[in-house]
Chains A and B, each alone.
Chain A
């Protein structure tokens, strides 16, 4: 019979007094004995009286009937390449696990529960795993209906040391390749993309589109640092020919800007700028005044915005009178969405409205410009 040495076998001294005394020397089973000093008696040590210290070391071959963690009772190891017994109490060998995975590569793990095994299909260059994570050779898709929750992919470097970074790399092949960009969408609603537009000198572009380089580019940053905003409200318009006798005797003339040079965002029409968003707008205007006489006095070039009026007063008229004269106004104006702004010129001192608002077809002399600044 093989002998087994058990390191760490112990007998709790507190239980000795409770052991059964040897009274007749007859043996109904094999046992050890111990001297109980308290009662000066020899007592039996049965297997149930023995315990093991933590971390015992067994040498030689150890056999067992059942190993249990309190929940799962393992009864044996098994070397079964096809896992056919499908047991909850058998532990597979490394060889059988490898043989099973090798033989079943590319087959999706059944079911859609968490903690599935991700497998790679060598023949099709695809992944197959849980229904929430798939790769079809082109798209790696993590998709899951998650009511009131976040689906997110995290890239985190938790090291708080210099040079410890976290990043996502999006790259395209080279100068002849397409763009490298990130695309966000509210499905069926709105798309935004941002990244490098390879066909536009590698500018960084923010576009309200699923792709870069369209008429929906909203922000472009060139490789030299130049920033353009092709959709930000910005306009310039001028008066192409004179409007005669519109003020001079306190007549309030809405200045005519009949020709647009540019109007990013389509917010200027009929001499009026209509704010597309609530914000601060830098507005400038210059008005040429003809027909000024020595009788002229105050001129007010006003911005009439919805929330307030922004005046610019100057003294007209002198002896001799200077004509043409001009009045200008510049302001950063708070405008709410859909507020309007026009320019009104009011001149006084003359006996009648004899002042003309000048205009020029080639070079603007009466004009308005504006842009959203904040």
Chain B
């Protein structure tokens, strides 16, 4: 399954923030999805095993986790999270607020004080040919979440924000104590650019 066929576009500041805590953002994101899939695969098996044991029509189970998940997903009584939500009365609302924030639409039309992210500022493309994920991984995740793309964007933005905070938290005291620095930028973006431009700064050192 390929998601984000034209890639994920992030700003230069976001990219630098990401590189502060991971040396390879694409590899990190793929690993994060794989880890999420593994956790959900285990949860799916744990949830369904009692039902399978109690089902007299099931006489044997595969000893392979992926095969077991495939068997579960092929059952008539299996539903994805989205199918479950649609069956509720009233149907559960589909939330894509991670994508909405990423695309700068979460606050549109509302009288609120904070500006949204500006997607047009993005200059760095991750996965320019799209993310190629295994079907079984995707399906294990979709057993529990509504929208895979929204989850991926949420994970990515969470890591970007973590990197941004850690970078500023670590380097602002160094800059303040540096006798060679008399002023520093008043914006987050400016401060990050200043930090990354320092000779003593090293990217990806926290990974």
Q: Which residues of A contact B (CB under 8 A)?
A: 241, 243-246, 252-254, 256, 258, 263, 265-267, 269-270, 272, 274, 276, 278, 304, 306-309, 336-340, 342, 344, 346
Contacts and interface: CB of A to CB of B under 8 A. Distances in A.
A272 B40 CA distance: 21
Given A254-B97, A266-B166, A274-B154, A338 B112 contact: no
B162 A270 contact: no
B145 A309 contact: no
Contacts of B97: 254, 272, 304, 342, 344
B155 A344 contact: no
A85 B161 CA distance: 76
B145 A306 contact: yes
B161 A256 contact: no
Contacts of A256: 112-114
Contacts of B145: 306-307
B162 A276 contact: yes
Nearest to A300: B93
5 contacts: A243-B111, A256-B112, A269-B161, A274-B162, A306-B145
Contacts of A245: 110-111
Which size bracket describes the interface of B in this complex?
Answer: 20 to 34
A304 B145 CA distance: 11
Contacts of A265: 162
Contacts of B164: 269
Nearest to A305: B145
A309 B101 CA distance: 19
A265 B49 CA distance: 36
A309 B92 contact: yes
A25 B134 CA distance: 107
B106 interface: yes
A60 B113 CA distance: 112
Contacts of A267: 158, 162
A340 B153 CA distance: 10
A309 B90 CA distance: 14
Contacts of A309: 92, 95
Output the residue of A265, A272, A344 with the most chain B CB within 10 A: A272
Contacts of A342: 95, 97
Interface string B88-119: 00001101011001000010001111100000
A258 B114 contact: yes
B19 to A, nearest CB: 16
Given A258-B113, A304-B97, A336 B161 contact: no
B79 interface: no
Interface in B138-175: 144-145, 151, 154-155, 157-159, 161-162, 164-166, 169
A306 B36 CA distance: 11
5 closest Cβ contacts across the A-B interface?
A274-B158, A269-B161, A338-B155, A266-B165, A340-B154
A207 to B, nearest CB: 16
Interface string B63-84: 0000000000000000000000
A306 B143 CA distance: 11
Given A254-B97, A272-B98, A337-B36, A243 B159 contact: no
Contacts of B40: 336
Contacts, number: 96
Given A243-B111, A243-B113, A342-B97, A337 B35 contact: yes
A337 B154 CA distance: 11
Contact of A336 (B36, B159, B162, B169): B36
Contacts of A253: 110
B32 interface: yes
B165 A263 contact: yes
Contacts of A272: 97-98, 101, 154, 157-158
Contacts of B161: 266, 269-270, 274
Nearest to A253: B110
A278 B165 contact: no
A275 to B, nearest CB: 8
Contacts of B110: 243, 245-246, 253
A246 B111 CA distance: 7
B39 interface: yes
A266 B169 contact: yes
A87 to B, nearest CB: 62
A338 B113 contact: no
Contacts of B114: 256, 258
Output the residue of A244, A252, A272, A274 with the most chain B CB within 10 A: A274
Contacts of A306: 144-145, 151, 154
A181 B178 CA distance: 32
Given A266-B162, A266-B165, A337 B111 contact: no
A336 B112 contact: no
Nearest to A337: B35
B207 to A, nearest CB: 11
